[in-house]
Amino acid sequence: MVRFGILGCGRIGQVHANSIQRITNARLVAVADVSIEAARACGDRFGVQTRDVSDIVSATDIDAVIIATSTNTHYEMIDLAANGRKAIFCEKPIDLSSDKVRVCIKTVEDAGVPFMTAFNQRFDPHFGAIQRRIADGEIGDVETVSIVSRDPGPPPVSYLKGSGGLFRDMMIHDLDMARFVLGEEPTRVFAVGSTLIDPAIAEVGDVDTAAVILTTASGRICQISNSRRTTYGYDKRLEVHGSKGMLRAANVLENSVESATSRGFTVAKAEAFFLERFGAAYLAELQHFVEAVLAGQKPKPDAQDGLRAQLIADAATKSRAEARPVEIPA
């Protein structure tokens, strides 16, 4: 049994609390939040105690913490949890500064505690199946990868200000996915970005539409397309070409109903957004963490994976700013 404390009772914290309830061998013990009201509401909803962060990280009846606080506090939370010898499941990104991520990695290694970065999309059954089938050799050597992510709408500009920009906030999932399926580390990135949806996004230095080309040492190529706008739900696709064939994951639609009228044949929109689309992935990633902790194995993706994706996002941000391809640090 892995006994959990959750730090941060926002939307994602509650998603994880819900997952814990559905996992055999996992139990939620306590929750904490900087807002006492939020903590209480969450504790009531899941029938568990509210405690201070300091109590949770030092508690003897808690084995692992989920860090779901705001990004700028992850650094401190990791430090506290490592000191408390807790297994750590940390929301992405670990930190917007890759230097601080490096410090976190050392902290966790020194403490010798399990650490998992929550790139949940690796646990999506569709994307996961593609990665496994590539690994099984079904399409031969990977040649090109194409990833499309289009959100149904942009977040508030107030949020974007502190988000680190589209490449670190939104595309980071795709950058990790590229590493997951490419079979080689990307070594160079070229990025472009535009503000086509809302001029206010440009005013805070961000973009709402972007494209990236990643290349690897052997010449594999990955193209990523991001936009903060669709009218047809959350557009999330992955396509991988290899020497023997292609594998791709289509959008998951709201239902399987098709209509036929004088307009043609129409099927449902894509699932509304990531919480709907990745429901199964949120559960599966935590199941993996629980299984790894119980088996004494290192969970994956780990802190290094968090760092690698962050470094690519940093390089993409720089590429767009300087209008040139940028090498990704090894």
Q: How far apart are CA 43 and CA 46, in angstroms?
A: 5
Nearest approach in angstroms of CB 232 to its own copies is 4
**DSSP character string of 180-221:** HHHSS-EEEEEEEEE--S-HHHHHTT--SEEEEEEEETT--E
Interface residue with its own copies, options 58, 195, 287, 304 (CB under 8 A): 195
Residue 102: CB atoms within 10 A of its CB come to 17
139 interacts with its own copies by CB under 8 A: yes
Nearest approach in angstroms of CB 130 to its own copies is 6
- 3-state SS class at 323: coil
Radius of gyration from C-alpha coordinates of the chain: 20
Cβ(326)–Cβ(196) below 8 Å: no
* Residue 21 or 72 having the CB closest to its own copies: 21
327 interacts with its own copies by CB under 8 A: no
122 interacts with its own copies by CB under 8 A: no
* Residue 133 or 300 having the CB closest to its own copies: 133
Contact pattern for its own copies over residues 154 through 193, marking x by CB under 8 A: ------------------------------------x-x-
CB proximity list for 16: less than 8 A, separation 6 or greater: 6, 66, 68, 89, 282, 286
- 3-state SS class at 85: coil
Contact pattern for its own copies over residues 208 through 247, marking x by CB under 8 A: -xxx-x-x--xxxx-x-x-x-xxxx--x-----x-xxxxx
Contact residues: its own copies, CB under 8 A: 125-126, 129-130, 133, 138-139, 141, 143-144, 146, 148, 150, 190, 192, 194-197, 209-211, 213, 215, 218-221, 223, 225, 227, 229-232, 235, 241, 243-253, 255-269, 323-325
